[in-house]
Structure 1
Amino acid sequence: MRLFATGLLVTMAVAFLILHHLHTLFPAWATPLGYAIAFTEAAMVGGLADWFAVTALFRRPLGLPIPHTAIIPVNKDRIADSMARFLRDNFLTPQVVARRLKGFNLAASAGAFLSDPRRGDQSRMRAGAANLVADALESLDPEQLGGMVKTGLSRQLAKINAAPLLGQMLENAIADQRHLPVLEALLRKIGEVIEANEPMIREMIHARANAIMRWTGLDERLASGVLDGAYRLLAEIIVQPDHPLRGKVDEALTGLARDLRTDPEVQARVERIKAELLANPAVGAWIDAMWERWRAAMLTAMRDPQAAMAGSLGATLTQSVAQLGAALGENPRLQLMVNRFARRTLVGVSSRYGGEIVRLVSETVRRWDAKTVSDRIEGAVGRDLQFIRINGTLVGGLFGLAIHTVERLL
């Protein structure tokens, strides 16, 4: 476009010279040639004026130190601050974000996206996002990142008041009788442990029996009776829902849940145990191993999403995502909740981090050199600026022609 605009200006100049030469050679054609000369002359003036105006935005015309030229390079820092203020005032204020999101159904859009994962553009976007996450995971120092994850997780766990949470969970489990399978599994495990260690139990009873019991064989009968009684008791507790010991266990668990929620001493004891666990090197090593396994699995899934989604877990995940999308798209109450949460979150982000984003834009533009700023702005709007030069050449010629016509008529 720059070459075209310059070529048009040069064409007008060449035409002006040729027409002037023809005007000298053919005086009889003075009247029609006068109109053409007026057009080309005014076109040159208009084209040169707009060339100067456009060039003066980005550099000094012909390298001359003309005042008020090279406007963008000279005012680079002021432009950076103006861009930042424009971004802050028009996009990153909580009021603007809330107003923009008020009529936007984010949940329905997300539901439509999740419920139809076969669209090509979405697949490319997912693949691009997956590669971006994988590159970020690989580029960061694994040990340092793992340390950050472990530190962050430990801090969050340290902030949690675990005792009331455990008490509430235990109460809910008892109310819904979700503790019964755990109790029955524990009783079966106790039976298996007794059976596996039956020779040791018999030996302990033999060692503690006196000589008369051993001589009469009562020790063996006592050991068999103890073991049979233990097996029978465990079986009765498992098969009888109304067994008295089950009631005792429920009472004990209910009391424990109440103490976890209300007893300061029990809560303090739980907090001490939690602090000891978090400070234990074995727990730190477990968190490190868990993070590394998660990181390796994430890298594998991101680098080869098709293989990761090919198995049963992938099929289940795909089905779950589709069901979530359908729920988001069809449930108005769920949409209201999600939209309200998203709106509050984004408004909070704009309020909390809007200033940082604006400062990032301003500082980034300030760090650019003057030529970079000029080249990037000219590259973004340069085509339209060259149209200004073209229009200036043509419109200037038309005005010159109109003035010459009025002059002839008068």
Structure 2
Amino acid sequence: MTALSRARTLPEAPPPALVRMRVVATALLVAMAALFLASRALAPLHPGWGFVQAFSEAAMVGGLADWFAVTALFRHPLGVPIPHTAIVPRNKDRIGDTLAVFLRTNFLQPAVIARRMRRFDVAGAIVRWLTDPPEGAGGRFRAGASKLVAQLLEGLDPARLGGMVKAGIAGRLRETAVAPILGQLLRAMIADNRHAPLLDSAIRWAAKALAANEHLVRQMVHDRAGSILRWTGLDETVADKLIDGLDRLIADMGEHPDHPMRLKIEEGLDRLAWDLQHDPDTAARVDAMKAELIDNPALQRWLDGLWEQARGRLLAIARDPESAMQGQLGDVLRQLGQTLGNDPRLSRSINRFVRRTVVGIAADYGDGIVRLVSETVRGWDAQTITRRLENAVGRDLQYIRINGTLVGGLVGLAIHGVDVLI
């Protein structure tokens, strides 16, 4: 049997505070019994001992009654199966169902969560942590959460976890309509004239490509020319003229932004931006290319490598968050915190996103959480739930025994005093 299995089979020890209060309540009851015996023996010597006897007698009754009531919640008093005792073990399934309904009604309602989440400034907490992290670089996060994150990353199957991440990214890409996004980006680039450097680079590339492939142009002209042109050598002249013309055309396009050919290309780019946003056929072609790209083994290998790099970086941060916060990552995070702190609109967006996310989780998984609570309590054996509840609230229940003993004694004293006066 492993250490973990032995730990699961061992009963949970009651907390010291519960043991201490149980001893105090029992000792007080025993003291009242001893005081009752002593006062009963001394009652003939002085009338005052009658008050002591009445107090101790009623205190014993009150203490025993409350001991019975407290014990009956969790077990049969003295092992005797008296009706309506051992209430918790007999009703554990109903307790689990009631607790689950209580959680669902009071905590997992989307409206309740949304109302309470409005009080939380998640963005403000992020700003404070990024700009002024507690204890230098992590505080309790470094000591607790970072260790937990590292253990999770090391313990989970890297291949399976990486497959889940890759599948999630691929699924998100498949669901994303790429064509409108590309169209909007292209339209914004054209509007800000940010496409000009790219077009200049394309023109320069075309000039270099033509220079590097002159022999292909000459061979093409030679192959397509007639035998007479080849015999007279005019095919070389035609090839020279063609190459010179293409050189001048490319050079003019690079030097003159208003060149007709360049304007024609920009007109085509503008049309492409419109088609990407509004033409279904263009969008369908882009989606087909996107699907082919996602299914490409090269992209899958790239995603695998990207995940391994991210996993390694996360492990390094989790193992030593202080060093990570002191390096370039720390500078980036602090700058991010300052930016977030200076942008109220972004802060509101983050708070709204967190609120909607939590509310969405409650709406989607609230019933599952309720079932988990109910089924977990149902799965506990009677002794387990009895021990856990008694350890949780037993200390306060022992106060009931103490109060019952003292209040019972005071009531008995009052009754004896009234009897003496009458």
Shorter chain as denominator, the TM-score bin is 0.7 to 0.9
Q: Cα–Cα, structure 1 residues 309 and 231, in superposed 2: closer, same or farther, change >3 Å?
A: farther
Tell me the secondary structure at the aligned position of residue 201 of structure 2: helix
Spell out the pairing of 1:246-395 with structure 2 (5 A cutoff). 246-327=262-343, 331=344, 333-395=345-407
Over the aligned positions, Cα root-mean-square deviation in angstroms equals 3.1
Q: How far, CA to CA, are the matches of 1:257 and 1:121 in structure 2?
A: 46
User: What amino acid maps onto 2:133 in structure 1?
Assistant: P
Which one-letter code corresponds to 1:160 in the other structure?
A: T
- Aligned equivalent of 1:132, options 127, 143, 148: 148
TM-aligned CA deviation for residue 112 of structure 1: 4.0
Between 1:82-91 and 1:261-270, the stretch displaced more is 261-270
Aligned to 1:85: 101
Q: CA deviation at 1:198?
A: 6.7
Structure 1 unaligned spans of 5+: none
Could you tell me the percent identity over the aligned residues?
Answer: 52
Q: Secondary structure at the match of 2:40?
A: helix
Indicate if the aligned counterparts of 1:116 and 1:322 stay in contact, CA closer than 8 A.
no
* Higher deviation after alignment, 178-187 or 356-365: 178-187
User: How far is the alpha carbon of 1:257 from its aligned partner?
Assistant: 1.8
Which residue in the other structure is 2:45 paired with? 28
Letter in 2 for 1:61: P
Contact 1:301 1:308 in 2 (8 A): yes
In 1, Cα distance between equivalents of 2:359 and 2:413: 58
> 2:411 is matched with which residue: 380, 396, 399?
399
Q: CA deviation at 1:117?
A: 2.2
Q: Relative to structure 1, is the Cα distance of residues 212 and 174 closer, same or farther in structure 2, using a 3 angstrom cutoff?
A: same
The answer for the alignment partner of 1:10 in structure 2 is 30
Q: Do the aligned partners of 2:131 and 2:337 also contact (CA within 8 Å) in 1? A: yes
Could you tell which deviates more after superposition, 38-47 or 75-84? Answer: 38-47
Q: 1:350 & 1:165 partners in 2: Cα distance?
A: 32
1:85 and 1:356 map into 2 onto residues whose CA distance is 12
1:253–1:112: structure 2 CA closer, same or farther, 3 Å change rule? same
Instruction: Indicate how the Cα distance of structure 1 residues 123 and 181 shifts in structure 2: closer, same or farther if over 3 A, else same.
Output: farther
Q: Kindly provide the CA deviation profile for residues 197-240 of structure 1, in whole angstroms up to 9, marking residues without a partner as x.
A: 378569859987957659xxx969976x8777666654543443
Amino acid at match of 2:409: G
Q: State how far apart, in whole Å, the 1-side matches of 2:63 and 2:350 are.
A: 57
Give me the whole-angstrom Cα distance separating, in 2, the residues matched to 1:93 and 1:213: 88
2:190 pairs with 1:169: no
Is this contact kept in 2: 1:115–1:325, CA < 8 A? no
Matches within 5 A, 1:15-94: 15-23=35-43, 27-29=44-46, 31-94=47-110
Q: Deviations over 1:29-78 (max 9, x none)?
A: 2x111111111111111111111111111111111111111111111000
- 1:121-160 Cα distance to aligned partner (Å, 9 max, x none): 9632365333333322222222222222222222222222
Give the count of matched residue pairs.
397
For residue 288 of structure 1, report the CA deviation from its aligned partner. Answer: 2.0
Q: TM-score, normalised by structure 2?
A: 0.83
Label 1:37 to 1:122 Cα distance change in 2 as closer, same or farther (>3 A).
farther
Contact map agreement 1:113 1:325 (CA 8 A) in 2: no
Q: Residues 198 and 157 from structure 1, CA distance in 2 versus in 1: closer, same or farther, beyond 3 angstroms?
A: closer
Correspondence for 2:8: none
